């Protein structure tokens, strides 16, 4: 059902006409009946051209943030501590795909987070520049860009740009009235990436943008725009001119598009310094009935056994939790409050936290253990995270795997040789190593004893023991050890005409 977008207990049905809409509803309700799902009539919103869905307003033409969500940020008081500032930036970045040109503004505020701990309550000294940046962040969200729905038969383009500190990109589609934005992407660079050349940073921006927008561009032709002109000729240069990192990145880009075009810097509307901060704190309203859990805690046999045990290292105290406050048994042995969750509520709290960003197994376990408590919680969280359908559908490999190169078979003896080193071995007449040589065509092997593994010793043994008898090979394969990559050995192979 490509017309249906389910997200846990929210289901969005999109149709092009009223007749099609009722046909789609019929299919959805048949599926509900098939699996025993009973939607509540009072919560259903039918025949609307504009609906609220997952914190956004969805219309037939575009998508925007909810006004009430934007109001919560625009009315946010000026942060006085690092923790409050971190929370504000986390709220802003929830809608980061609607806000281009964010890094230049947020960079001033991000300085306060450097070296700060997660819940650091240290007061911050606000400069005029920081105050202006804070107000501009709120203003930018109020003027958030409208994002359009992707169309099928239109030209797509990814516009990328890189600065000294960050990379950014915009996914756009071309319609009769011009280019429409579909989504924005940005990420700050690591210290190592900031030392890249301007060309490498721009190539990295294209590489990261395609990985991020992969689900939207896979299987479709699109244009990659960049204001770095040499990048437009990346696929025309020889491979020996590229570093291994560049080859890996170009390999992934080439699997999606080779149409890279130059865009003048003055015409590049993509952010010059988009960045995305790490969201470590976010406000979340749990749909958990704490009052019901407090009542069940009084009679739960599992909890009562733990409370009466003399062998546990846990320290339980009845403490207020939730809003409005409800008294629950909580563990305080780690210096923080961890409510004890009963069996009926465990999967629910996992779903609430895991659905924020669908982190991996280890991150999910760490996130749950820091906040809550129940027996065998690590095993439970591991199982639920491993079987999360959204994770299995959306997560892609972080590593680019290049296609295996062609290994042309030789047509004659001693045309293609393989050499390697063996050792150190037990000493024998002063020799401790061996140079092994194998002809790939005939499989003829030989080994030559070596006193040491220096490039001079290896080159001498290879020349006198093998080449003097069988002639120089056209191709030579090694494991790229330091001895074989030395200037001496490279000079020898070049002199012999061996590739």
pLDDT at residue 281, rounded to an integer: 31
Q: Is it the case that residue 404 has pLDDT exceeding 90?
A: no
pLDDT at residue 135, rounded to an integer: 77
Span 423-444, average pLDDT: 89
pLDDT at residue 393, rounded to an integer: 66
Bridge-based pairing state of the strands 178-188 and 166-175? antiparallel
Check whether domain 290-393 has CATH 1.20.120.80, yes or no = no
pLDDT digits (tens, 9 = 90+) for 248-298: 898 888 888 888 888 775 555 433 333 332 323 333 344 577 788 888 888
Per the CATH hierarchy, to which homologous superfamily does domain 69-147 belong? Reverse transcriptase/Diguanylate cyclase domain (3.30.70.270)
pLDDT digits (tens, 9 = 90+) for 109-154: 777 777 677 777 777 777 777 777 777 777 666 555 567 777 777 8
pLDDT at residue 98, rounded to an integer: 60
Q: Is it the case that residue 402 has pLDDT exceeding 70?
A: no
Distance separating alpha carbons of residues 301 and 398, to the nearest angstrom? 45
pLDDT at residue 203, rounded to an integer: 92
Q: What secondary structure letter does DSSP report for 344?
A: H
Report the CATH number of the 156-276 domain.
3.30.420.10
Span 66-78, average pLDDT: 62
**Pair 160, 206: CB distance under 8 Å:** yes
Which residue, among 260, 258, 190, 207, has the nearest Cα to 231 in the 3D structure?
Answer: 260
pLDDT at residue 394, rounded to an integer: 60
The partner residues of 433 in beta bridges, in order of sequence, read 450
pLDDT at residue 5, rounded to an integer: 80
**Residue ranges of domains in the chain:** 4-47, 69-147, 156-276, 290-393, 416-496
Q: Determine whether 52 is exposed, middle or buried from the number of CB atoms within 10 Å of its CB (0-12, 13-18, 19+).
A: middle
Span 91-117, average pLDDT: 67
Give the lowest-confidence range in 351-360, 397-406, 418-427: 397-406
Give the lowest-confidence range in 203-207, 252-256, 448-452: 252-256
**Pair 475, 499: CB distance under 8 Å:** yes
Distance separating alpha carbons of residues 421 and 436, to the nearest angstrom? 6
Distances from the Cα of 199 to the Cα of 213, 240, 421, angstroms: 21, 17, 38
Span 425-446, average pLDDT: 90
**Pair 418, 438: CB distance under 8 Å:** yes
**Pair 38, 32: CB distance under 8 Å:** yes
Q: Do domains 156-276 and 416-496 have the same CATH topology?
A: yes
More confident residue, 454 or 201: 201
Span 307-324, average pLDDT: 79
pLDDT at residue 279, rounded to an integer: 27
CA torsion sign, 97 to 98 to 104 to 109? negative
**Pair 364, 377: CB distance under 8 Å:** no
pLDDT at residue 274, rounded to an integer: 36
Span 154-162, average pLDDT: 87
pLDDT at residue 208, rounded to an integer: 92
Which residues in 162-183 are b (16+ Cβ under 10 Å) and which e?
bbebbbbbbbbbeeeeeebbbb
Mean pLDDT of the chain: 78
The CATH class that applies to domain 416-496 reads alpha beta
Span 313-338, average pLDDT: 79
pLDDT at residue 284, rounded to an integer: 38
């Amino acid at each position: 059902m490509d017309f249906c977008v389910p997200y846990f207990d929210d289901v969005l049905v999109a149709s092009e006409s009223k007749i099609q809409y009722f046909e789609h509803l019929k299919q959805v309700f048949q599926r509900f009946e098939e699996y025993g799902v009973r939607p509540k009539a009072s919560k259903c919103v039918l025949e609307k051209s504009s609906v609220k869905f997952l914190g956004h307003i969805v219309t037939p033409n575009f998508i925007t943030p909810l006004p009430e969500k934007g109001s919560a940020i625009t009315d946010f008081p000026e942060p006085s501590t690092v923790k409050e500032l971190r929370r504000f930036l986390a709220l802003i970045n929830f809608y980061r795909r609607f806000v281009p040109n964010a890094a230049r503004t947020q960079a001033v505020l991000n300085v306060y987070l450097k070296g700060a701990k997660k819940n650091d309550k240290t007061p911050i000294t606000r400069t005029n520049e920081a105050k202006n940046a804070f107000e501009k962040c709120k203003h930018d969200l109020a003027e958030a860009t409208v994002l359009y729905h992707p169309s099928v038969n239109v030209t797509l383009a990814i516009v990328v740009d890189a600065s000294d500190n960050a990379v950014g990109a915009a996914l756009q589609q071309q319609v009769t009235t011009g280019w429409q934005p579909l989504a924005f992407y940005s990420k700050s660079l690591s210290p190592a990436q900031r030392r890249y050349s301007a060309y490498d940073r721009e190539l990295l921006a294209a590489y990261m943008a395609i990985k991020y927008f992969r689900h939207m561009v896979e299987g479709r032709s699109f244009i990659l725009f960049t204001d770095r002109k040499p990048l437009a000729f990346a696929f025309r240069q020889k491979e020996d001119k590229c570093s291994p990192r560049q080859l890996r990145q170009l390999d992934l880009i080439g699997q999606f598009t080779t149409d890279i075009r130059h865009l003048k810097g003055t015409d590049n509307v993509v952010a010059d310094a988009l960045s995305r901060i790490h969201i470590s704190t976010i406000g979340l309203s749990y749909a958990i009935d704490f009052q019901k859990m407090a009542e069940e805690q009084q009679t739960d046999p599992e909890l009562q056994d733990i409370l009466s045990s003399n062998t546990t290292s846990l320290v339980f105290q009845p403490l207020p939790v939730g809003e409005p406050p409800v008294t629950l048994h909580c563990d305080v042995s780690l210096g923080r409050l961890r409510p004890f969750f009963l069996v009926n509520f465990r999967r629910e709290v996992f779903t609430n936290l895991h659905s924020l960003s669908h982190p991996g197994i280890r991150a999910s376990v760490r996130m749950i253990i820091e906040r809550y408590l129940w027996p065998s919680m690590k095993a439970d969280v591991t199982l639920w995270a491993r079987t999360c359908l959204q994770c299995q559908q959306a997560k892609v490999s972080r590593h680019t795997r290049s296609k295996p190169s062609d290994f042309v078979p030789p047509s004659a003896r001693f045309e293609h040789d393989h050499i390697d080193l063996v050792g150190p071995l037990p000493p024998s007449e002063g020799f401790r190593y061996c140079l092994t040589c194998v002809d790939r065509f005939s499989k003829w092997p030989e080994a030559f004893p070596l006193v040491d593994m220096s490039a001079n010793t290896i080159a001498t043994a290879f020349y006198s023991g093998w080449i003097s008898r069988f002639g120089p090979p056209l191709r030579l394969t090694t494991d790229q050890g330091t001895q074989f990559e030395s200037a001496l050995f490279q000079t020898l192979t070049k002199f012999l005409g061996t590739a």
